A and B are shown apart, each in its own frame.
Chain A
Amino acid sequence: MKIIGSVLVLGLIHLTIQGQESTKLTEKTFNTTRIINGHSNEIQEKGTLEFRVEHKFGDFAGSNGGIQNFFGIDNAADIRIAFEYGLTERIMVGLGRSKGYGPYRGLLDGFVKGQILRQTEDNSMPISLTALGSTTLTYAKKSNDPLLVSSYPEFAHRLAYAGQLILSRKFGSFGSLALMPTYTHRNFVRFDDQNGLFSLGIGARVPLGEKFAVVGEYYINFDNAEFRKDFKNSAAVAVEWVTFGHVFSVYAANAGGFGEQQFIPYTIGDWSKGQFRIGFAITRRFEL
């Protein structure tokens, strides 16, 4: 994880940064830095600071949803406030705060994302390869019950990590595809859970005319702990609308939290029971 989280993101980028500058790069494989819950290959432009307010509401339907809480709007599951910055033409960083979902609550998150390979219009480079390393830190008050994950016996138990490769390709006007092999590591888990989780994310974007697109994202978890059988794979679908200021995306997802350390291991919502929630992000960009 140490290597995946830091050296891979920053080191490999510098090793492979040469040689692609003269050809025209494929733009907007995905329209934003996120596919839906997870990251896309896109990064923030160099010198641009993005202020993000991300929302996820409560269950749309099922026993906790419906008209009584206006289809989850009255029960915000999580909100993330973040600043994300384009450090160079290939590297972006981000810092955020969210409520958290599952046993890790009161979360600070940080990530580094870098483009290793970039798809070109002439197909001399047919794919884009991007690496992501992220960390979350919970500052929630610790519980006195040693049976709970939130007892955090050591400071390091408050940390969780994710390392991800984002392999993507844009197929012209037909749309874009992405594969995201991911490793998530939580330093402290329940006695019958597993600390490390391998998963594979699949993302797709299909344009519907000039202004609209449908986006889908699914993460398959490869776990074998008995306890984890109660959790679901994260699945989300979004509609994108290109507006004057930016791309507005409204999605429905069964995951509750933000960040790989949250939506990959702690998704419990079952789509078939109406346990999905509406979410969107409001963003503003500033040139520094």
Chain B
Amino acid sequence: MKKYFFFLALGLTMSCKKDKTIDPVCVDTVSFSATVEPIILNSCATSGCHNASSAAEGIVLETYNQIYQRRNAVLGSIKHQSGYTPMPLGADQLSSEQIQAVSCWISQGAPNN
């Protein structure tokens, strides 16, 4: 009897997710290649910063996989959230439209589209 309850409890707690609804301002799908990638390449993956040859702090943001893996840190940095180094370093903050585009792309699952 105890065994069955143990497996029941275990089964019910096995499906842990951390998902959220779509942000209402993100109803339109954001394209990685058309929107997000140019923002990152022009503002982050530049010489002396996060291109492959500079790799500041060991971080490179040139390919989809590299950006995807660090997407939350990228968002925190460009939004100037506490706990993150404000980026782009020594330059003006990105426009609110650019930040919103990256935020929406992440909330839509950060697809390689």
Seen from chain A, the residues whose Cβ lies within 8 Å of a Cβ on chain B are 1-2, 5-7, 9-10, 87-88, 91, 93, 110, 112, 133, 135, 137, 146-149, 151, 153-157, 159, 161, 185, 187-193, 195-196
The docked-state distance in angstroms from the alpha carbon of A155 to that of B14 is 12
Which chain A residues border B27 with CB–CB below 8 Å?
147
Taking the closest CB of chain A, its distance from the CB of B9, in whole angstroms, is 4
The one of A110, A154, A161 that contacts B8, using a Cβ cutoff of 8 Å: A110
Structural contact, A1 and B16, CB atoms closer than 8 A: yes
Seen from chain B, the residues whose Cβ lies within 8 Å of a Cβ on chain A are 1-2, 5-6, 8-10, 12-24, 26-27, 107
Taking the closest CB of chain A, its distance from the CB of B81, in whole angstroms, is 11
Taking the closest CB of chain B, its distance from the CB of A43, in whole angstroms, is 14
Most buried by A among B19, B24, B27: B19
The docked-state distance in angstroms from the alpha carbon of A196 to that of B1 is 32
Structural contact, B19 and A2, CB atoms closer than 8 A: no
Q: Which residue of B lies closest to A224 (CB)?
A: B82
Structural contact, B12 and A159, CB atoms closer than 8 A: yes
Which chain B residues border A135 with CB–CB below 8 Å?
9, 12-13
The 9 closest A-B pairs by CB, nearest first: A5-B13, A187-B17, A156-B15, A135-B12, A191-B23, A6-B9, A6-B10, A195-B18, A191-B20
Besides the known contacts A187-B17, A188-B19, 20 further A-B residue pairs in the complex with CB atoms under 8 A apart: A2-B14, A5-B9, A6-B10, A91-B2, A110-B12, A133-B13, A146-B21, A149-B21, A151-B21, A156-B16, A157-B17, A159-B12, A187-B15, A187-B18, A188-B20, A190-B21, A191-B24, A193-B20, A195-B20, A196-B18
The one of B6, B19, B23 that contacts A6, using a Cβ cutoff of 8 Å: B6
Structural contact, A188 and B17, CB atoms closer than 8 A: yes
Asked if A189 meets B13 with Cβ closer than 8 Å, knowing A87-B2, A88-B2, A110-B8, the reply is no
The docked-state distance in angstroms from the alpha carbon of A193 to that of B23 is 11
Q: Which residue of A lies closest to B16 (CB)?
A: A1
Which chain B residues border A159 with CB–CB below 8 Å?
12, 15, 17
Structural contact, B21 and A133, CB atoms closer than 8 A: no
The docked-state distance in angstroms from the alpha carbon of A10 to that of B15 is 19
- A–B pairs, 6, beta carbons within 8 Å: A87-B2, A135-B9, A146-B21, A146-B22, A161-B13, A185-B16
The docked-state distance in angstroms from the alpha carbon of A1 to that of B18 is 12
Taking the closest CB of chain A, its distance from the CB of B36, in whole angstroms, is 18
Q: Which residue of A lies closest to B26 (CB)?
A: A191
